[in-house]
Structure 1
Amino acid sequence: MNNVQDVLNALDKLTGGRVVKSLGDLTRGDHPFVIMKSSNLPGKEVIETPGLVYGDLNKSVKKIAVTMTMTEGSIELAGATGVDAIIAHHPIAEAANSGGVTLKNYLDLYNVAAFELHEAFHGLHPGISFLHGHEAYKADISYGGVHGNVLFVGKTLPGVQTLGDMLSRLNDFMGLQQEEELLFTEREVRGSSSLTETSVVTRGRIVIGNEDTRVNHILHIFPHTGFSPEHLRQAAKEHPEADTVLASISRVYDGHALIEMARELGLNMVIGNCHVLEILENGLPLAYALDKLLPDVEVVVFRERITSTALHETGTSQMKEYAERMADEYLVNRSAAKLSN
């Protein structure tokens, strides 16, 4: 019978010893993967603590869920399906990842342990570059001295000769045709022509170049990590062989300074997978690793799907009437009354 300690040991093994093993790892200030994340917004910073966030080390574990970001939806699904431990890729914060209530109360209610494994998991496998059609010959997870600022430099794989080849490869691996078919069916069922979904609306695209543009050497960047135009200029200087900038997980839109810098440097530019697909890029390899290290434990994957719907197409007719009545009788009138006083 496996327990929470066994899960922690498995995470430590697959990361090569990167998880937090004691309170001292948190208090000494020298653990390389205990990292403060802060935009200097009052009260909103969080410290990454790779490993066990909450739970009894002796608690038995028969079923594990791997997810990207733990939410109240994750906790409810865990409780309803007999999951003993959630392993989230992204950092877990009090209330933010537990429906606005304290983590302890919510997790205790369903007897669920919680782990996180973010920066401590990055750089452990070459899968993200592989999926995008190149083999990285350089990987830096702190480019420019910025924690978590990732840069891969790679050579295209056999069969990937153009920017169009890169996008076709992604579409096939990520099953985007299935996502389009699912979205079409959901629109029909819900009677909502406005309905759209993240992975479909953010699919890869070419920013500089065209489908027939040749590609050989790639600078693979992740804009949300703080990768700046000056970082791009420096990377291009260090790797004059590079002909293409690939931005994935996060993306840039028309007019962004990174696009202008790529154009100035004479580089092609392509947008790859969006952040929502990291559950496949990073979550699935993690889940398979745990399945092999803990063969007696059932491993499932929690995959969230975010959609956007026009207000007046959201919900059943009864729910629309309910929402409008609540707004009229308790919210709008209350606001108007306050304004008139």
Structure 2
Amino acid sequence: MNDDAIKVKHVLGVLDKITGGRCVKSLEDVFSGKNRFVVMKSSNIPGKGCMETPGLVYGDLEASVRKIAVTMTLTECNIELAGATGVDAIVAHHPIADAANSGGVTMRNYLGLYGVSVFELHEAFHGLHPGIAYIHGHKAFRVDIAYGGLPGNILYVGKALNEVSTLGNILDRLNEFMGISEEEKMLLAEREARNCSHISETNVATGGQILVGSREDRVHTVVHIFPHTGFTGEHLEKVKNEHPEADTVIASISRVRIDSELVAKARELNMNFVVGNSHAMEILENGLPLATAISKLLPEVEVVLFRERITSTPITMAGNPAIRQYADHIANQFLLPNANK
């Protein structure tokens, strides 16, 4: 093996440098409690908890790396694409767990089959850059990645950028940065190719919305939250007390419905409420900057971005006639209660 070749250990070193030393270096980091980014995530559903261990999750430190893929969530589709396109290492933003992120089988068997190493970062990457706030039209002067003492409960408080004076400006800015017109063209092309006008797609379906206020309403100080992290109405009231000048709430990554307690609380506090980018856009908000940084620190390595595109199609139009006939046959003969078994 060429001693000058980029290896898995070098990728780990680069990720540690990018995160300011937040990656796991040893088992002691995992179990000692010294690394605050080693976090257990659990809804108390039996057997479904997951520990975040930022850094190398699987792979040989001495293995060569010529091509790296950056993704949001590791899936079997990621693994298959990596295996088919010569990717040696995948850097996933979200935490990785056996079976859940490897097609229902153990990671060692699946990743080892294709010689793919995997890394995760998640909480260790949060709070490192102001990009998500910038994309949403404000400059954060306060960043808390554990608001209320809850790990991962991220809060930004920021001042609107000079070019962003209204809620409408925020929505237009998001559409431009995320290339929504291109996503709409791709959806239209798929509908035409599959002869089905009822196909929906995540990025188009989850565009920005104003839930309280109007496009013309002014925005000055923003409270930017991420509802899926556990941010509550009580949290919002506390932030408003801490920053009484705040006039607008932006909820991004995850979304809320119009009947959400957060929306009701914003109305009570006389604040606008905007739903920003969905989680599906984080591959551009966080993933692309991370991939770009890796590429700059490891110029010898090819770096690619793995993007998922999820669509919804009526089953009467899914696939082609042959596969629909197959599905009908299997359901009738083997899966329905009256099937002959």
1:163 has 2:167 as partner: yes
Tell me the equivalent position of 1:26.
30
Shift of 1:155: 0.3
Separation in 1, partners of 2:236, 2:60:
45
Query: Within the alignment, does 1:152 sit opposite 2:147 as a pair?
Result: no
Query: In the alignment, is residue 232 of structure 1 matched against residue 221 of structure 2?
Result: no
Match of 1:281 among 270, 281, 285: 285
Deviation string 1:237-293 (CA, Å, 9 cap, x unpaired) is 000010000000001012110000000000001000000000000000000000011
Can you list the C-alpha shifts for 1:161-186, whole angstroms capped at 9, x where unaligned? Answer: 00000000000000000000110110
Flag structure 2 segments of 5+ consecutive residues without an equivalent.
Answer: none
How far, CA to CA, are the matches of 1:299 and 1:180 in structure 2?
Answer: 27
Q: 1:112 matched to which residue of 2?
A: 116
- Whether the 8 Å contact between 2:8 and 2:62 is mirrored in structure 1 is yes
What is the SS of the residue equivalent to 1:20? Answer: coil
In the alignment, the residues of structure 2 paired with residue 270 and residue 31 of structure 1 have an alpha-carbon distance, to the nearest angstrom, of 35
Runs of 4+ in 1 over 6 A off after TM superposition: none
1:184 and 1:117 map into 2 onto residues whose CA distance is 35
Name which of 16, 25, 30 aligns with 2:20.
16
C-alpha deviations, 1:72-108, integer Å up to 9, x for none? 0000000000000000000000000000010000000
Alignment-derived partner of residue 72 in structure 1: 76
Paired residue for 2:187? 183
CA distance in 2, matches of 1:50, 1:149: 18
Match of 2:325 among 296, 321, 327: 321
- Structure 2 match to 1:249: 253
TM-score normalized with structure 1 length: 0.98
**Matched ranges for 1:290-301 at <5 A:** 290-301=294-305
Deviation, 1:30, is 2.6
> How far apart in 1 are the matches of 2:61 and 2:214?
54
Describe the superposition over 1:195-228 as per-residue Cα deviations: whole angstroms up to 9, x where unpaired. Answer: 0100101100000111100000000000000000
Task: State the shift of 1:333 in Å.
Answer: 4.1
Are 2:50 and 1:49 equivalent residues in the alignment? Answer: no
- Measure, in 1, the Cα distance between the counterparts of 2:141 and 2:31: 36
- Take 2:233 and 2:320, find their aligned partners in 1: how far apart are those partners? 47
CA distance in structure 2 between the aligned counterparts of 1:262 and 1:297, rounded to whole angstroms: 47
On the 8 A contact 2:12/2:56 being kept in 1, the answer is yes
Q: Which residue pairs with 2:96 in the alignment?
A: 92
Specify the SS of the correspondent of 2:152: coil
Given that 2:70 and 2:303 are in contact with CA atoms closer than 8 Å, whether structure 1 keeps it comes out as yes
In structure 2, what is the Cα distance between the partners aligned to 1:5 and 1:134? 37
Distance in 2 (alpha carbons) for counterparts of 1:331 and 1:299: 44
Amino acid across the alignment from 1:230: E
Question: What is the aligned length?
Answer: 337
- Alpha-carbon distance, 1:31 to partner: 1.4
Q: Find out whether 1:81 has 2:113 as its counterpart.
A: no
1:270 aligns to 2:274 (yes or no)? yes
In structure 1, distance between residues paired with 2:76 and 2:340: 34
Q: Encode CA deviations 1:134-159: one digit per residue, 9 max, x unaligned.
A: 00000000000000000100001111
**1:245–1:62: structure 2 CA closer, same or farther, 3 Å change rule?**
same
TM-score of the aligned structures, taking structure 2 as reference length = 0.98
Whole-Å separation in 2 of the counterparts to 1:22 and 1:115: 14
Partner AA of 2:252 in structure 1: S
Which residue of structure 2 lines up, in the alignment, with residue 200 of structure 1?
A: 204
Whole-angstrom CA distance in 2 between matches of 1:44 and 1:333? 30
Question: What stretches of structure 1 of length at least 5 have no aligned partner?
Answer: none
8 Å CA contact 2:334–2:340 kept in 1: the answer is: no
8 Å CA contact 2:198–2:314 kept in 1: the answer is: yes
Larger CA deviation: 83-92 vs 20-29: 20-29
Identity %: 61
Q: Which amino acid aligns with 1:252?
A: V
